[in-house]
Each structure stands twice: as C-alpha cells, then as structure tokens.
Structure 1
Amino acid sequence: MKLNLKSAEIQEILSGRPLNSYPKYSTQILVLANQNAQSTRPSMVGQMSDLIQEFKGASLKEWETWYIEKYPDAIDNATDKLLPMVRALEASARAIDRTVVRKWVEEFLIDKTFAGLKFQEAILKKIAEIKNESYRLSKPEEESKGIDGFIGDKPVSIKPSTYKTMMGLAEVIEANMIYYEKKKTGISIEFDF
C-alpha cells in the first residue's frame, strides 16, 4: 500500500485541530511579506529546528507552553514586524495598474527570457574580457562536438556545475570547460584555463 499525506493533513493529524481558514490569497501575501520583513528569522523567534529537538514533550499543547515560556514575546514581536510589511505590500498593490503590469510582462517575456536563454554569450564575453581576448559563439558543426564558443583560439564548452557529478557520461569534449550555477541573483562561473 502506498500512502501520500499532504502537509496540511499532517498538521491536522498532529495538532488534533482543524487548520485555520484565511481569506483567499492572504497566505501568499503573508509568506511574501514575511520573506521581506524577515519576521520569523531565528534571531526573532529562535532556531525552530533546534528548538523542536530540545523540546522533550509529546503534545502540541506541551510544545506551545514550552515555546511561549522560552520565547514569551516572539509571536507578538514577529507579528509587529510583519504587519507593516503587509501594509506596504497593500499600498504597492494599489499602485499597480495596467501600465505597470504590461511593463512587467514585457520585461519578463522579452528581456529576462532573452537574457536567461542567451546567458552563454554573456559568460563568453565576460571571460574574454577578463583574459583580454576576443570571443565568438560556435558554429553548428562545432556545437555538434560540444563546443559552445571560443575565447581567443581556445574552444570552450559551457555546462551546468552538476555536469561534473554526472557518472558514466560517454561524451568526450575536446574543449576547455566552463561550469556555471544559476543563483537567485544571477550565475556563478567556474573555469581554470
């Protein structure tokens, strides 16, 4: 037998009480506001993963009592820090009109998509600049050999950093390797030639 439990169901089973209901979309707004306000950071409310290990009780009521004794002001402090961010998001949402939405959609579909899908050229250009060399993208016959471009006269292949850990790759690329990792704020690049 295979059984799947949803997070909400686990919470209900362990707490013995039904989940709170919230106005539509409000939890998404609260999560976003909390990310921005950082109102439930360990410095505000304690390191929850450590605290639950430290806790020796068994029930939700015991946990609640234990936690509130240890951090008596945490819930109110986090609430007081979160509410102004919710109000700021509310004001920002009121400022969003069709023009703002259209600009965002256009930037997302045109600029960000282009940059996201063409980032290999940005990598080539940046490394060539660092090495004071020229660069060019590969031609179709070079691409078929795993070459993504050239920096000076050196062929290079641009692969995600996870490529290094792939076992049993039959592919042999006769090129200098450049590895990248996409981050929240851009890409991290690694090369050694």
Structure 2
Amino acid sequence: MKIKIPNTEIQELLSGKGYEYPKYSTQIMNLANQNAQGTRPRIVGQMSELIQEFGSGSMNEWESWYLNRYPDAIDLATERVFNMVEELKKSIVLIDKKMIREWVEELIVVKTYAGLKFQEAILKKVSAELQVEYRLATPEEEAQGIDGMIGSRFVSIKPITYKTMNELSEHIDVPIIYYEKKKSEIVIEFNI
C-alpha cells in the first residue's frame, strides 16, 4: 500500500495546529518576507543548527526551547514582514494596466536583449573609458574568436571563469576583456 501525506498534513499531525490563509496571501507574505528579510538568521537564528542543537522532543518542547533562546524573534520577524506588507499595499494600488504593459515590455524586449547582447555594452563602456571608437566583430572575425574592435585593437570578451579553464581548445591572440555577471551589474576587467 502507498499513501501520500501532504506537507500541510505533516505539520498538522506534528503540531496539532492547522493553518488556513486566504488565496494568494502566503505568496504576498513570502514576497514581503524576502524583501524585509524578517526570518534571516540574524533575526530568528540559524534554524538548521538550532533544530540539531535541540535534539529530540515534542513540538511543544521545541517551541519552549526555541522561545527561551529567542524570546523576541517571532515578534521581530512579524513586525518586519507586516511593515513590508503595508508597503506592498501602498504600491499595489499604483499598479495599473499601463504600468504592467511597460513592465512586461521591459522584461521581454529590453531585459532579454540586454541580457543576451551585453557584449556591445561592454565594448561601448571600455571604448568610452579609453576615449576611442568601437565596433562589433564581423562574422569572419567572430569565427576567429574576436568579439569587436576598440580603437585599432581587436578584442575578445569572455566570462571571468575563462581564466581558470585549463583545457581550452581555442587560442585567442587578441586582448581579452573579462566579465563577471553579478545580480545588479557586470564587472569587467581589461588591459588593452
């Protein structure tokens, strides 16, 4: 025989508590928590370590043990998430169809293009820094591992991880501009 126990039922079986929320409310609270960082270890403790330190015992014993060590954590986390939900409420009334269309357009057209065609942005930035002209590579130049030209020099653009790859099948005889994509920026290194 096979039976399935949904996560919500596991929680209910172990805690004796059942939780019900209106549709979409947990998604909003999760988003608010991500932004507010209400349940980060510095607020509520490192839960994976704490549950190991606790060892074994009932849900009530765990709750008592935890609250003795972090008596204000649930209230602090609640306050942070609540404040962010209030901020989200203020923002949501400002969202109209026009704004959604602009956001979708930016996501589909601009961010996709910029994410996939960022090499030109790198060429532009480096050439501006060096106060010279730039151009993208021709298809023939691309076949040789060249991504563009800055001033009178051909260049190749590679991720920073390219530096650590030992077994490369290609050999590039032009200066390489290295980049690293971060969450909110691209960091570039060059020596031209």
1:16 corresponds in structure 2 to 14
Check conservation: 1:12, 1:19, Cα contact below 8 A.
no
Deviation sequence 1:66-119 (CA, Å, 0-9, x none): 221011111012102211211221332232221111111122222222322221
Unaligned runs of 5+ in 1: 1-7
Tell me if the contact between 1:156 and 1:177 (Cα under 8 Å) persists in the aligned partners. Answer: yes
**Deviation per CA, 1:139-177, whole angstroms, max 9, x where unpaired?**
110001111011222221112223334453212222211
C-alpha separation between the residues in 2 aligned to 1:110 and 1:85?
30
Runs of 5+ unmatched residues, structure 2: 1-5
For 1:19 and 1:131, locate their aligned partners in 2 and report how far apart those are by CA, in whole Å.
64
| Residue 25 of structure 1 pairs with residue 24 of structure 2 | yes
Q: Which of 51, 54, 57 is the aligned partner of 2:55?
A: 57
Distance 1:59 1:52 in 2: 10
Q: What does residue 79 of structure 2 align with?
A: 80
Aligned residues: 184
Letter in 2 for 1:181: E
Residue 66 (structure 1) aligned with residue 65 (structure 2): yes
| Segment of structure 1 superposing worse, 42-51 or 113-122 | 42-51
Q: Which residue of 2 aligns with 1:97?
A: 96
Q: What is the distance in 2 between the residues matched to 1:38 and 1:100?
A: 27
* Aligned-pair CA distance for 1:186: 1.9
C-alpha separation in 2, matches of 1:113 and 1:60: 50
Aligned twin of 2:112: 113
TM-score by length of 1: 0.80
What corresponds to 2:144 in structure 1? Answer: 145
Matched-pair contact (CA < 8 Å) for 1:135–1:150: yes
Q: Are 1:137 and 1:150, in contact at CA under 8 Å, matched by a contact in 2?
A: yes
Give the letter for the 1:72 counterpart.
P
Q: How big is each residue's C-alpha offset from its partner over 1:28-69, in whole Å with a ceiling of 9 and x where there is no partner?
A: 21121112222223332234455445x142246343322210
Q: 1:163 to 1:64 in 2, by over 3 A?
A: farther
After alignment, is 157-166 or 146-155 more displaced?
157-166
**Backbone CA RMSD of aligned residues:** 2.7
TM-score by length of 2: 0.80
